[in-house]
Chain A
Amino acid sequence: MKILQERIKHTKFGESLIIETAIRIMVPFIQLFGLYVIVHGHYSPGGGFQGGVILGASFILIGLGYDFKTSLSRMQEKTNIILGNLGALLYTGVAILCALMGGLFLDYSALDKLIPMGPIEWRSFGIFLVEVGVGLAVMSIMVSLFWDLCSGGDLDEGL
């Protein structure tokens, strides 16, 4: 306990040891649950949007319990923007690739000509690709909404 307190004091994080330790334990499980919701989106309730919001909420939790600087060091602003744009690009890229391969917009079975896997299998896998894209984009938007609203827009001092 003494060693842990010394270490926390040395790293100059927020105020309360209990809250920080609880968040440190909770955040990996929240992120795992978010990934589970994204991956199982087409079998069970959930999907890209809800999983993305849960992933974003884990970073919001770090920003709430710790300092604002710690939240920025865990998830840098540039990485956040790149991930969000990558998600939107994945969604529209898969959709346009379907149209280029001779099918309709978002008609995943047309991708069968690219990698022969069977049209039914491709319909399942295409939804998975689109949901990963939606999840990345929503996570980025949620985290940057929190940063911008809680720091007044200049990203140097949080709550």
Chain B
Amino acid sequence: MIWGIDLLILLLVVICAIATITIKDLLSATIIFGVYSFLMCLLWAEMGAVDVAFTEATVGAGVSTILFIGTILHTSRRSKD
């Protein structure tokens, strides 16, 4: 554990989390959420929990981003009602 890298990654994680919930476009929010997942993966791996980091990289950054994008492509820009 190196506290400098920890602090840097945690700062980036907080920035990504705030950007995910404040941004209006759904596709951009999904991509930034993928970046958030990957930064969390880096954080787990740096803290020594490689198993959790593996899960985060495959599920969080890999499959769930694709599932979000596939769902967003079926939505329309504005709601009909």
Contacts and interface: CB of A to CB of B under 8 A. Distances in A.
Interface of A: 37, 45-47, 49-50, 53-54, 56-57, 60, 64, 142, 145-146, 149-150, 152, 159
Contact of A149 (B58, B59, B70): B70
Interface residues of B, number: 15
Given A45-B50, A53-B62, A149 B67 contact: yes
A55 to B, nearest CB: 10
Given A57-B63, A142-B63, A47 B70 contact: no
9 contacts: A45-B51, A50-B55, A53-B63, A56-B63, A146-B63, A149-B71, A150-B70, A150-B73, A159-B70
Interface of B is mostly: helix
A56 B66 CA distance: 12
A62 to B, nearest CB: 12
Contact of A57 (B50, B58, B70, B71): B58
Given A53-B59, A53-B62, A152-B74, A45 B67 contact: no
A145 B73 CA distance: 15
Nearest to A34: B58
B58 A45 contact: no
B22 to A, nearest CB: 25
B78 to A, nearest CB: 19
Nearest to A46: B54
Contacts of A46: 51, 54
